[in-house]
Amino acid sequence: MRVGIDYRSALVNAEGIGRTSRELVRALVGHGFGGNLGLFGYTAKGSKFNRKELGLADSNAELCRLRLPSRWVPNLLKWTGKGVDDLVGGCDVYHHTQPNALPVRDAIEVVTVFDCIWSHDAEGPEGPGYLGVEDARRMKSAITDLVQRARIVLVPCEFVGAEVVVNLGVSPARVRVTPLGCDHVLEHLPPGGFGPPAKPYILTVARVDARKNHFRMLRAFEALVREGLPHDWVIAGAIGHGHELFSKALANSPAAHRVHWRRKVNEEDLVRLYSQASLLLWASLNEGFGLPPLEAMACGTPVLTSLVTAMPEICGPAAFLVEPTDEERIFEGARRLLTEPDLHAEYTALGLKRSREFSWKNCAKDTLLAYQAAMDMGDEEPSMQRLFV
């Protein structure tokens, strides 16, 4: 079985889908599958990572690079009468890893759907939707097209699987859960760990957008400051859609001098931030998986996160779960984890144990099984009618 993979995000995106694509391919190579991989990287930008950083240095995986704007590729393929599977030298299965519906000519198609945040695109009293309206429409259109073409739909957790069934009418028989890994952080952990920070801090690792809920976390942090806790708050994440509410609130916050917003952080520094933090504060409103809580757990840092969407499934009993729209609950949970040593130690130990359950090796194994299932599955699979319009 030869597999083609959309590898664009792995070359240019340090987080999210880019991380997943890189680590999945690295693990597939580790399974000895590199010779069966055709990777398609199409971007006018240069790669942010060399072959060694991608895990391809000693691999015979083939990387097809097109130095063209990604928006040109569909028209180029249409004009030439080729499919993306032709560009990777032919393959039995082609894996779409992002919502970009490239044409495929002969290969069986598989698609990963990471979340359904595009279904929350409306503006309302609580602020902007999770994406810009046009971005949400484009994403929904591409994902709808891809899941209709794909034999197998991969999802990172059962929560997203249910969303795919309800929102896109995909038969459960076509859905496979392939949980992501978090063990990539371990390569940057020194044997003796890091020393204590100069000043204690709370950490949030997330793009600053409406979905990540920084505004309410800021209000909870201000309450912690009023309570007399000595911690600063470090935010590691770029600006995202709907950041304005938080940005304005931060500019006017009495605790602004205790908030440090780092918009670019490399992988080594991020692991240090995780390891030295007193707490990962991550009260997101909607997640399809959420790697930062598991990454923090793997670094020995306790986690406070949301009791909604995918987070209870991913974190299980290893995180302190709160209602993300309740600032008082966020404050009280953080206060307890920061001031009760036994509770802090309990969630640290639970987190370390939980993080070991999520490895890229297992993700790659599950993904290979899904590829084989797509090969074995007939074209005529039952489809579900949409439950909601």
Q: What is the pTM of this model?
A: 0.93
CB under 8 Å to 163, separation ≥6 — which residues? Answer: 115, 116, 119
From residue 135, give the alpha-carbon distance in Å to each of 122, 132, 138. Answer: 12, 5, 5
Q: What is the pLDDT of residue 130?
A: 84
- 3 state SS of 366: helix
Q: What is the pLDDT of residue 124?
A: 47
Please give the helix or strand (H or E) that residue 375 lies within, else none: helix 360-376
Q: What is the pLDDT of residue 131?
A: 83
Please give the helix or strand (H or E) that residue 153 lies within, else none: strand 152-155
Instruction: Show pLDDT as tens, one digit a residue, over the chain (389 residues).
Output: 999 999 999 999 888 899 999 999 999 999 999 999 999 999 888 888 988 889 998 899 999 999 988 889 988 998 999 999 999 999 999 999 999 989 999 999 999 999 999 887 555 444 457 888 888 888 899 999 999 999 999 999 999 999 999 999 999 999 999 999 999 999 999 988 898 999 999 999 999 999 999 999 999 999 999 999 999 999 999 999 889 999 999 999 999 999 999 999 999 999 999 999 999 999 999 999 999 999 999 999 999 999 999 999 999 999 999 999 999 999 999 999 999 999 999 999 999 999 999 999 999 999 999 999 999 987 655 544 433 33
3-state helix vs strand vs coil in the chain, percent to 5: 45, 15, 40
Q: What is the pLDDT of residue 107?
A: 97
Give dist(CA 73, CA 259) in Å, integer: 42
Closest CA to 110 of 140, 85, 77: 85
Give dist(CA 259, CA 216) in Å, integer: 14
User: Tokens in use for 77?
Assistant: 């393929």
* Residues facing 109 on adjacent strands: 94
DSSP state of 197: P
Q: What is the pLDDT of residue 192?
A: 84
Q: What is the pLDDT of residue 133?
A: 82
Q: What is the pLDDT of residue 70?
A: 87
Give dist(CA 12, CA 7) in Å, integer: 9
Residue 316 region by backbone torsions, left for phi larger than 0, else alpha for psi between -120 and 50, else beta: left
Enumerate domains of the chain plus CATH numbers. Answer: 3-180+359-376 (3.40.50.2000), 183-355 (3.40.50.2000)
Give dist(CA 201, CA 220) in Å, integer: 14
Give dist(CA 296, CA 89) in Å, integer: 40
From residue 106, give the alpha-carbon distance in Å to each of 4, 75, 94, 372, 374. Answer: 12, 18, 9, 16, 14
Please give the helix or strand (H or E) that residue 204 lies within, else none: strand 201-205
Alpha helical stretches, state H, 185-323: 214-226, 244-251, 267-276, 291-298, 311-315
Compute the chain's Rg from CA coordinates. 21
Give φ, ψ of 181 to 5 degrees.
Answer: -110, 165
For residues 343 and 335, the answer to whether their CB atoms sit within 8 Å is: no
